[in-house]
């Protein structure tokens, strides 16, 4: 008779094999679309050039058709990339689940060293550190989640009421496999838009420290009010010049744009860097918070997720 653990391992192994099969098929499709995009770009460019030799109207028509065809291929390729990323995340999570069940330490993500690892209980009971209980249990995608779990293991709340509340939450979360899996996938997906989660947890403390340092800082709005009209004007002048309606005035517009940009370069460099950091940090946080806001939580879990369900929920504040 097969024990339940072995049965679960077999189920996960079959699921992993199916994911590998789908990913192999999508990799072949990815290669095919890459060649099609290259062919559409080169062929469309060549056809447009030859069409302009026949006539301007024919050239613009062929160029537009080539651009539309290339755009369709790009859209299909991006859609395939998103699906591949999701399947890659599912493969990663399934593989790590198998590693945890089999205590395959090489397949379980390591937990970064922490000062609490010197806690007497941490060393005596192997609660944290290498090949520890924390490494097996930790499925958090944020540094705060890992730190919270470490604190629970080293400094547990032993009050009877707290114990009963935790047990009730565990009983509610245990059958919610779909909720836990989807939350993990959303968390992994937003770690990077281009690459699946690389094992480095999201550190919300960095965002809090940045907000504390930059209260009342300078704004990008004045620069955008000046540079955006210049950029829009240059695009319009370029299109009109290519259509033969106006002389190439866009060259002067580009020169003026560069003069304004470089005159503000020292201040814009830091502002754009800060804007990129905020975009990445808030995108990750917003995606997870929106998932928690929209999911139909059971009664007990809804209490834990109360900050995501009220009128002051994060998604409204981040708009």
| Residue ranges per structural domain of the chain | 1-108, 221-263
What is d(CA 57, CA 76) in angstroms, rounded to the nearest whole number? Answer: 29
3-state helix, strand, coil in the chain (%, to 5): 75, 0, 25
Model pLDDT, residue 33: 95
User: How is residue 126 written in tokens?
Assistant: 């192997």
Which range of 15-24, 109-118, 156-165 scores highest in mean pLDDT? It is: 15-24
Residue 221: the pLDDT is 67
- As a whole number of angstroms, the distance between CA 201 and CA 199 comes to 6
Position 247 pLDDT exceeds 60: yes
Average pLDDT over residues 17-40: 95
pLDDT band at 26 (very low <50, low <70, confident <90, very high): very high
Residues 6+ apart with CB under 8 A from 207: 278, 281, 282, 285
The pLDDT of residue 2: 65
Per the listing, tokens 């059958």 go with 175
What per-residue confidence (pLDDT) applies to 238? 83
Indicate if the pLDDT at residue 193 is higher than 60: no
pLDDT of 217 strictly over 70: no
Average pLDDT over residues 36-65: 91
pTM of the model: 0.72
Q: Which residue did the predictor score with more confidence, 302 or 21?
A: 21
Whether 268 shows a pLDDT value over 70: the answer reads no
pLDDT value at residue 218: 57
**Among candidates 148, 213, 142, 219, which has minimal Cα distance to 184?**
142
Residue 44 in this model has a pLDDT that exceeds 80: yes
Residue 263 reports pLDDT greater than 50: yes
Alpha helices in 55-139 (DSSP H): 56-102, 120-124, 133-137
Tell whether the model's pLDDT for residue 133 goes beyond 70. Answer: yes
Residue 202 predicted with pLDDT over 90: no
How far is the C-alpha of 58 from the C-alpha of 52, rounded, in Å?
A: 6
Across the range 103-120, mean pLDDT stands at 86
Supply the pLDDT for residue 195.
43
Q: For the residues 111-122, what does the mean pLDDT come to?
A: 81
Higher per-residue confidence, 232 vs 67? 67
């Amino acid at each position: 008779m097969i024990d339940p653990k072995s049965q679960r391992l077999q189920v996960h192994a079959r699921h992993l094999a199916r994911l590998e099969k789908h990913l192999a098929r999508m990799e072949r499709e990815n290669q095919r679309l890459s060649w099609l995009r290259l062919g559409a770009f080169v062929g469309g460019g060549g056809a447009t050039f030859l069409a302009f030799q026949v006539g301007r109207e024919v050239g613009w028509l062929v160029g537009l058709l080539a651009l539309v065809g290339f755009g369709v291929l790009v859209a299909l390729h991006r859609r395939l990339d998103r699906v591949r990323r999701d399947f890659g995340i599912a493969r990663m999570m399934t593989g790590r689940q198998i590693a945890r069940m089999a205590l395959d330490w090489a397949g379980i993500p390591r937990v970064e060293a922490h000062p609490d690892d010197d806690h007497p209980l941490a060393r005596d009971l192997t609660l944290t550190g290498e090949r520890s209980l924390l490494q097996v249990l930790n499925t958090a995608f944020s540094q705060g989640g890992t730190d919270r779990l470490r604190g629970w293991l080293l400094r547990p709340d032993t009050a009877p009421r707290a114990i009963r509340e935790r047990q009730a939450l565990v009983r509610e979360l245990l059958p919610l496999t779909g909720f836990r899996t989807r939350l993990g996938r959303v968390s992994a997906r937003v770690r990077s838009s281009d690459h699946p989660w690389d094992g480095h947890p999201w550190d919300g403390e960095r965002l809090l420290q940045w907000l504390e340092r930059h209260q009342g800082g300078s704004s990008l709005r004045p620069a955008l009010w000046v540079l955006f009209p210049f950029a829009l004007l240059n695009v319009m002048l370029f299109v009109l010049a290519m259509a033969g309606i106006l002389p190439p005035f866009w060259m002067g517009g580009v020169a003026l744009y560069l003069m304004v940009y470089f005159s503000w370069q020292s201040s814009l460099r830091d502002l754009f860097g800060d804007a990129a950091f905020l975009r990445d940090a808030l995108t990750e946080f917003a995606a997870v918070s929106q998932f928690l806001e929209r999911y139909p939580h059971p009664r007990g879990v809804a209490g834990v997720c109360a900050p995501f369900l009220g009128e002051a929920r994060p998604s409204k504040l981040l708009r």
